[in-house]
Structure 1
Amino acid sequence: MSAGHACVDVYQGAVAALVPFLVSERAYGYAAASGIVLAASLLSSVVQPLFGVLADRRPMPWLIPLSTAAAGVGVALVGADAGYPATVAAVALSGLGVAAYHPAAARLVRTALGGGSGHSAMSWFALGGNIGFACAPLLVFAALSVPGAAGWWLLVLPAALGAFLNRPPAAARRRGGAGAPGAAAPEAAPGPEDRRAFARLSLVVVVRSVAFTGLSTFIALYVRERGGGETAAAVALFALFAGSAGGTLLGGRLASRWGRVTTVRRAYAAAVPAIAGILFLPLPLVHGCAALAAAALYVPLSLQVTLGQDYLPTRMGTASGVTLGLTVSVGGVASPLIGAAADATSLRTALLPLALLPLLAWALARRLPDPDPGAPGGGGLRGLPVDP
């Protein structure tokens, strides 16, 4: 499941990695280039929660490989260069594939593979997606080094591998594990829903999405603007994605020690100085700050998914669709605004608000109840929120 997730999320990273190419080779402005990211993300804001509702109502194992294929074909079609509207449509197809994949896959991980709280299984599953993100700039660089259309179609290879890994028979066998009827350890009856906590968690996810998507969209351009070459720009984007992979895996380990809500809150507090370092420290230090900022922003990722599932225990697919959908969509919606501000002022000025957004996420997370009974301040789902 983790490897299949990597093969899907490589296309989320590929869209961001294509932005410098589109700016330099097709003369797109900052706002137009960030509109490409918007096209990949906008459908997810509506479609991914809808696929989550469908996943709760009936199993659709065939959707996972089909959506994986759509994500790869959409990115490859960007190479046709049939004009800006066609490029937007191709990237939207890729975004639709990514949106269709996540709710069913995340629900499967929690119900059939997670067991108990599912921290470890969900963090490994999310780690696969982060590895895909991290590999995306290298994949795009290698593919575009091949002359002609052949290089663009090389971008389909991860989708072909992912469709094979997540083919319906394999998904059916996984579903027939811990979560199947007659399994050795039947699942406990779901607890009550906490819609107010889920709404607050959704706001936290929105803020985080804007911060990370803004960084991933513009950090390569920002490094180039400060005097770094193409290699330095690619390394900065790779450091951002690699840091996200480490942060995701670290999140599950920290949650076992501190509890999920405390871990989420502390991670957002740590993200503030890391993002500020990207904007104000000398260029050689930007790469390290990028890795630290991504780690801090990705420690909460898998924890927020399982928290959402615990707040809506009878609708895990819906909870997964909303939390994961907001993760990949809202930031894309905000990216054109950042691009327009960069066109009107400077890129550094436009990125300054990103350093304050984790502080807002921290403030919102202070009032989240923690359903982990053994965590500091835990058991708040039926009682009071965790201590600030």
Structure 2
Amino acid sequence: MTAIRHLSLGHACVDVYQGAVAALVPYFVAERAYTYAAASGVVLAASLLSSVVQPLFGALTDRWAMPWLLPLSTLTGGAGVALSGVTGSYGLTLAAVAVSGVGVAAYHPEAARAARAAAHGSHTAMGWFALGGNAGFAAAPLLVMAVVGMGGLHATPLLVAPALVGAALCAAAVRAAGTRGESGGTTAGSGRDDWSSFLRLSGAIVCRSVVFVGLSAFVSLYVRLRTEGGEAAGTAALCVLYAGGAFGTVLGSRLAERYGRLTVVRRSYVVTVAAVAGVVFVPGPGVHLCVGLASAGLYVPFSLHVTLGQDYLPTRVGTASGVTLGLTVSMGGLAAPAVGALADATSLQVALAPLIALPLLGRLLLCGLREPGPEGQVVPADSSSSSAA
């Protein structure tokens, strides 16, 4: 479990930089007078290259062990965000966060392979690995507020600190894993790949991702406007969105061991529909409760997505990890400019309203999927593990 602990903590340090990009959006709006569309373009820049290169890194880790990639990608992710606030132009800002996105993309496939090997099939252990990433997301708004809120955007170089810690933790995780089998390259199984089920699962994750990225980019600004609570209220909402993920990830792995992964995933998507509707329409302080419920609904299936994807593609674990843990998550950033443009043309409430329908679409894509067994074999569904929500 030493390797899992180090990987989980390293995951936290890397995913700080995914959360930091969204947390920086209000400061770009305030200090540089970015429009909603321009601000969402920053989120897109962090996601676009990440989306392109993520499958490449997954395919590479299916063929070769690359444990050295873990500390290097962590440092790259931190360097991009650290430079984002000190650049002199919008284009350079986009380039800096794009570099950060590439670093994050490079990290996830190899780290997920190593975590799968160290977990020895345990959903709970994989849940702890995913929890690390969620903790990093949750810490990002507080870290950004402490650094940028006090020193302005020119203080962003201080945000490199988690990357330095994370690189050291990743190096320790590689040493703890000790063998090639636990750090990548030889963890693939020998079963049959079920591409049809994997692609449907991936489509559902994209729906989840668009909702999560849309809320991440704009919930802070939206809650500020809706509650008139200022910067503190907006930061609190973003922290709730991310921190609820820590609870949701642990809960999801526990529930999956009792009820089955697909049952838990399906019901989480249904809960998310109602929760996002609450975020958009519930007035006043009650919006924070809805943000928390939406966070739980979005995060309960998070680690389950990864293990399901790996089991649907047992001979391509790196590819499955890169897609479920990275590509489909990054794809949500591609929709952020559309949300921002609609907000500029109408209002943030109108722009966020379409997010309500996406978890329902994701739930429909999950219809008919069956639980993969050992070596990618599909096991018969029973009433306790695959009943529809």
Could you tell me the TM-score, scaled by structure 1's length?
A: 0.92
One of 33, 53, 56 as aligned partner of 1:50: 56
How far did residue 355 of structure 1 move?
Answer: 1.2
| CA 372–246 in structure 1, closer or farther in 2 if over 3 Å, else same | farther
Name the residue aligned to 2:174: 171
Residue 204 (structure 2) pairs with residue 207 (structure 1): no
One of 155, 177, 188 as aligned partner of 2:159: 155
Name the residue aligned to 1:296: 297
Name the residue aligned to 1:79: 85
Residue 143 (structure 2) pairs with residue 143 (structure 1): no
Residue 316 (structure 2) pairs with residue 322 (structure 1): no
Name the residue aligned to 1:114: 119
Aligned partner of residue 80 in structure 1, secondary structure: coil
Matches within 5 A, 1:177-196: 179=182, 190-196=190-196
Aligned partner of residue 58 in structure 2, secondary structure: helix
Aligned partner of residue 368 in structure 2, secondary structure: coil
RMSD over aligned CA atoms reads 2.1
Matches within 5 A, 1:243-322: 243-322=244-323
One of 48, 57, 72 as aligned partner of 1:66: 72
Q: CA separation in 2, counterparts of 1:187 and 1:225?
A: 49
Q: Is the 8 A contact 1:212 1:297 kept in 2?
A: yes
Q: Is the 8 A contact 1:42 1:330 kept in 2?
A: yes
How far did residue 327 of structure 1 move?
Answer: 3.5
Per-residue deviation, residues 196-215 of structure 1 (Å, max 9, x unmatched): 10111110111110011101
Q: CA separation in 2, counterparts of 1:99 and 1:321?
A: 8
Q: CA separation in 2, counterparts of 1:138 and 1:340?
A: 27
Q: CA separation in 2, counterparts of 1:170 and 1:125?
A: 12
How far did residue 146 of structure 1 move?
Answer: 4.4
How far did residue 145 of structure 1 move?
Answer: 4.0
Q: CA separation in 2, counterparts of 1:187 and 1:23?
A: 45
Q: Is the 8 A contact 1:205 1:326 kept in 2?
A: no
| CA 342–96 in structure 1, closer or farther in 2 if over 3 Å, else same | same
Q: CA separation in 2, counterparts of 1:34 and 1:225?
A: 18
One of 5, 8, 31 as aligned partner of 1:2: 8
How far did residue 228 of structure 1 move?
Answer: 2.6
How far did residue 180 of structure 1 move?
Answer: 8.5
Q: CA separation in 1, counterparts of 2:340 and 2:223?
A: 15
| CA 242–104 in structure 1, closer or farther in 2 if over 3 Å, else same | same
How far did residue 356 of structure 1 move?
Answer: 1.4
How far did residue 81 of structure 1 move?
Answer: 3.1
Aligned partner of residue 229 in structure 2, secondary structure: coil
Matches within 5 A, 1:220-259: 220-226=220-226, 227-259=228-260
Could you tell me the TM-score, scaled by structure 2's length?
A: 0.92
| CA 14–179 in structure 1, closer or farther in 2 if over 3 Å, else same | closer
Q: Is the 8 A contact 1:367 1:386 kept in 2?
A: no
Aligned partner of residue 340 in structure 1, secondary structure: helix
Kindly provide the amino acid, as one letter, of the partner of residue 176 in structure 1.
T
Q: Is the 8 A contact 2:189 2:314 kept in 1?
A: no
Kindly provide the amino acid, as one letter, of the partner of residue 203 in structure 2.
L
Q: Is the 8 A contact 1:71 1:94 kept in 2?
A: yes
Kindly provide the amino acid, as one letter, of the partner of residue 114 in structure 2.
L
How far did residue 371 of structure 1 move?
Answer: 1.9
Aligned partner of residue 356 in structure 1, secondary structure: helix
Q: CA separation in 2, counterparts of 1:147 and 1:336?
A: 28
Per-residue deviation, residues 290-336 of structure 1 (Å, max 9, x unmatched): 11101111111110111110010011001001112234311100000
Q: CA separation in 2, counterparts of 1:180 and 1:35?
A: 35
Name the residue aligned to 2:24: 18
Q: Is the 8 A contact 1:61 1:172 kept in 2?
A: no
Q: CA separation in 2, counterparts of 1:49 and 1:280?
A: 37
Q: CA separation in 1, counterparts of 2:283 and 2:360?
A: 23
Name the residue aligned to 2:4: none
Q: CA separation in 2, counterparts of 1:187 and 1:164?
A: 24
Kindly provide the amino acid, as one letter, of the partner of residue 331 in structure 1.
G
Q: CA separation in 2, counterparts of 1:212 and 1:70?
A: 24
Instruction: Structure 1: give runs of 5+ residues left out of the alignment.
Output: none
| CA 326–172 in structure 1, closer or farther in 2 if over 3 Å, else same | same
Q: CA separation in 2, counterparts of 1:190 and 1:27?
A: 54
Aligned partner of residue 359 in structure 1, secondary structure: helix
Kindly provide the amino acid, as one letter, of the partner of residue 251 in structure 1.
G
Q: Is the 8 A contact 2:306 2:324 kept in 1?
A: yes
Aligned partner of residue 156 in structure 1, secondary structure: helix
Per-residue deviation, residues 224-248 of structure 1 (Å, max 9, x unmatched): 2222311000000000001111111
Kindly provide the amino acid, as one letter, of the partner of residue 124 in structure 2.
S
Per-residue deviation, residues 253-279 of structure 1 (Å, max 9, x unmatched): 010011011110000011111111111
